[in-house]
Structure 1
Amino acid sequence: MKNKIFSLTILMLVIITSCKDKANEVETKDAEKVAKAEESAVSYTVDTDNSLIMWKGFKPTGSHNGVITVSGGDFELKDDNLQSGSVTIDMKSIEVLDIPKEEKGNAKLKGHLTSADFFDVETYPYANFAITDVSESDGKTMIEGNLTIKDVTNNISIPVTTTVDGDRMTLKSEKFTIDRSKWNVRYGSKSFFDDLGDSFINDDIELQIDVNASKS
């Protein structure tokens, strides 16, 4: 009995710690019209070799994390201020970092994430984020954008930092969390299934965008 209580206590601590460490969930709205830059804006092309999206997924017993590569995109800036842009995300490139690559669990998890259970990359090989608005709030740059995953598009708002240095620019978001169920990613989701018990996987996916670009 004591062992059961101890195990339950450990499990609850893991859940509480995981929730505490999670970034705030962004508001999800209907898709909006994509922003257009002024004709005099300067274009920057995404450097795909130096751009990544970090991800982290949660379950009752802990979490997994990894990266996804950016396969293309561009931004338009006027007087070093971001006006518009988009990035294309290569969903086939999902990598798992918390499990050593030589272990079977790495390939198993990657295979599951890329399968029809999750992101179905054979059918939907790319995701996309397109800026719909740029504003300043409490000293932070906020970008709203249409995030498309599995042909489902929702508009989200995230805080970012943009830096321009010569012919190079960097856009880096703060960590933020999306609710995968709103993009029809159903596996193990309590939003779709009632009989999962403790075998569910949280709807929350934590993301952080780190994109580099060069003047076109």
Structure 2
Amino acid sequence: MKKLILPALLAVSLLVSPVIAGTPAASKATTSNSKAATKTFKLQPQLSTLGWEGKKVTGQHNGNVQFKEGTLQVSGNQIVGGMFTVDMNTLKVEDIKDAGMNGKLMGHLRSDDFFSIEKNPTSTFKITKVTPMKADAAGNNATITGDLTIKGITKPVSFPAKTGVKGDLASASGTATIDRTKFDIKYGSKSFFEGIGDKAIMDDFTLSFNVIAKAEGKSSAAVK
């Protein structure tokens, strides 16, 4: 897009299912597990992915960005919280193969028009609520709500996800749709600039995630 998206957090059509098809986020038997001790599972960045996809009138672009660190909070067999940090300096464009064009778009995405990466080298997401739901056609079995921070601006977001806990592993995967303008990323937005025609970039971009975490204190051999 001769410009766009985020990341961001902050999505590719690279929606990978969790490595674990484990126990669903919750069932009637696990929705009120308040007495169960909450355990911390540490994110495995080498096993986790975060992709982005942004669209414009004349096409679209996609790529990925890497998690820096994170945790999932687990109670019983249910994910109940979590916190993730994304290293914005790892932002990449995947669909443009020409080095010159790729570098041009990357430079724009790193600029103040988009993510201001030099000033804001990380983005974060803090889970504030996980609501179990009946699994849909995509296998999503929970709605995740949390606070997303991009460019130092924090806004609440909510999206469906497939979550599971099995033994010492916990996983979550899904796709979140983000309105970039809420994070002061207004470049090329028809919502703010009239008459830009086919140069317009859509306000929404998507983040496709697949996160794997293991119980703290467990050896890496537990992750297969």
Candidates 65, 68, 79, aligned match of 2:65: 68
In structure 1, the residue matched to 2:152 is 151
Deviation at 1:200, TM superposition (A): 1.4
Give the distance between the partners of 1:117 and 1:39, measured in 2 at CA. 46
Residue-pair matches, total: 179
In structure 1, the residue matched to 2:29 is none
Query: Is 1:106 aligned to residue 102 of structure 2?
Result: yes
Alignment of 1:1-216 (within 5 A): 40-100=37-97, 103-139=99-135, 140-173=141-174, 175-216=175-216
Residue identity in the other structure for 2:146: G
Change (3 A) 1:165 1:39: closer
* Identity score, percent: 37
In structure 2, the residue matched to 1:28 is none
Higher relative contact order (CA 8 A, sep 6+): 2
Change (3 A) 1:38 1:60: farther
Compute the TM-score of the two structures, normalised by the length of structure 1.
Answer: 0.77
Contact 2:109–2:115 (CA<8 Å) still a contact in 1? yes
| Corresponding residue SS for 1:112 | helix
Deviation at 1:39, TM superposition (A): 8.0
Change (3 A) 1:92 1:39: farther
Change (3 A) 1:83 1:38: farther
| Corresponding residue SS for 2:89 | helix
| Corresponding residue SS for 2:173 | strand
CA radius of gyration, larger in? 1
| Corresponding residue SS for 1:189 | coil
Contact 2:54–2:204 (CA<8 Å) still a contact in 1? yes
Structure 2 unaligned runs (5+)? Answer: 1-12, 14-33, 136-140, 217-224
Structure 1 unaligned runs (5+)? Answer: 1-21, 23-36
Give the distance between the partners of 1:195 and 1:149, measured in 2 at CA. 28
Residue by residue over 1:64-119, the C-alpha shift from the partner in whole angstroms, topping out at 9 and shown as x without a partner, is 0011111011011011201111111111111111112x531111111111111100
CA RMSD, aligned part only?
1.8
Deviation at 1:38, TM superposition (A): 7.3
Compute the TM-score of the two structures, normalised by the length of structure 2.
Answer: 0.75
